[in-house]
Amino acid sequence: MELELRHLRILLAIAEAGSLSRAAAALMLSQPAMTTQLRRIEASLGQALFERSARGVVPTRAGELVILHARDAVASADRIRGRRLRSAAGPEPVTVGGSSGPFLGHLAIHLPAVLSNPVSFVQCATTGEAMSRTADRSIAAGCMIELDGFGMTPPDGVVVDVIGLEPVVVVLPVGHPLARQERVDLAGLVGETWLLPPHDPGCDDYGALVEACGAAGFAPCVSSLRIGQVGILCDLISQGAGLTLLQGSARSREGVVMRRLVGDPLLGRHLLALHRESPLIGARPLLLSLVRDAFDSRCAKPD
């Protein structure tokens, strides 16, 4: 079997997801189909590329080398495609939206350089809003974050790619007794007050916190105060009003520290969503390449 770009994308998806099932979901394949494809790729190369374990899959030494070259090959192909899109795309204006995360800013810098379409960018208040606007095509593509296992089912017609998983961090005031620890045990936060953002139909922050704290042996005390602005949240935390959870790629702010939790019990899933009839659906490989660049440069990966 001769390796094609689609095979290389499968290897990259598996390496980034750390799981055949998550990679299959990201590429909209069944897990048996993903397993069959991986076996064919490994057979064509004559060696195993991933080691299987109860926690998922990790590249072998040979696999790491193949993935390195695959990433370069796919990135080169996407750049070539981007140049073709720039010359062939029509003048239809497009809008790209996003909720929290590093992707929207990265696209705002790099996407206009490879599209001839006039492109604008809009900030969405929540993951649910970004997904809804992608579904009704008021935005051509949406970048968003959900908590792993606590997101929403994509609406009909929307294609969702999982860009990667990132550990969720706890935000503490600098004077907190645990602020100097490299990692914080969630069980050590019994009795703390938690500040959460407003209800988001695309991401159940409350349910995720309750489940994680329950696994740690306690029920969290959640404030009735819901704040959506990260700056205001961090200002309240710096004054001792409580704690909150953020993505590890969030910008650090004065008066607070961000610490990973022991065992990373909560993970954020960075997503790119497009409607199948979006004017950017043909540019999906290019968009994926750009947001994966942002993820690799800004986001920590689970251990």
| Average pLDDT of every residue of the chain | 89
Q: Is the pLDDT of residue 72 over 60?
A: yes
What are the tokens at 88? Answer: 């062939």
Can you give the pLDDT at residue 143? Answer: 95
**pLDDT classification of 297: cutoffs 50, 70, 90:** confident
Mean pLDDT of 17-40: 83
Q: Which is nearest to 76 in space by CA: 220, 266, 289, 258?
A: 289
Average pLDDT over residues 283-299: 88
Q: Is the pLDDT of residue 174 over 80?
A: yes
| pLDDT given for residue 159 in this prediction | 95
260 close to 114: Cβ distance less than 8 angstroms: no
pLDDT band at 81 (very low <50, low <70, confident <90, very high): low
SS3 helix, strand, coil % of the chain, rounded to 5?
40, 25, 35
pLDDT confidence of residue 1: 67
Pairwise CA distance, residues 196 & 171, whole Å: 11
Contact between 293 and 169 (Cβ < 8 Å) = no
What is the reported pLDDT for 139?
Answer: 96
Q: For the residues 235-261, what does the mean pLDDT come to?
A: 92
Q: pLDDT at residue 42 above 70?
A: yes
**Residues above pLDDT 90, as percent of the chain:** 52
CA-to-CA distance for 172 and 73, rounded, in angstroms? Answer: 42
3-state secondary structure of 58: strand
Please state the rounded mean pLDDT for residues 233-237: 93
222 CB burial (10 A radius; 0-12, 13-18, 19+): middle
Pairing of strands 256-261, 183-184: parallel
Neighbours of 88 (CB within 10 A): 9
pLDDT in tens, 123-138: 998 999 999 999 999 9
Q: Is the pLDDT of residue 44 over 70?
A: yes
Least confident piece of the model among 21-30, 67-76, 151-160: 21-30
Measured distance CA(63)–CA(68) in Å, rounded: 8
**Assigned token pair, 209:** 């916190």
Of the chain, the end-to-end C-alpha distance in Å amounts to 34
161 in Cβ contact with 272 (< 8 Å): yes
pLDDT-based confidence at residue 258 (cuts at 50, 70, 90): very high
What amino acid is encoded at 110 in this protein? H
- The pLDDT of residue 89: 44
- Classify the phi-psi angles of 263: left when phi > 0, otherwise alpha if psi is within -120 to 50, otherwise beta: left
In order of their start, the domains of the chain are 5-88 (1.10.10.10), 165-266 (3.40.190.10)
Rounded to an integer, the average pLDDT of 73-88 is 66
Measure the CA dihedral 82/121/17/172, to 10°. Answer: 150
Tokens standing for residue 25? 């979901």
Residue 215 confidence (pLDDT) above 70: yes
Q: 249 pLDDT band (50/70/90 cuts)?
A: confident
Reply yes or no on whether the pLDDT at 30 is more than 80: no
Of 303, 37, 298, give the one whose Cα is nearest residue 145: 298
Is the entire prediction scored with pTM above 0.85? Answer: no
Q: Are 106 and 48 in contact (CB under 8 A)?
A: no
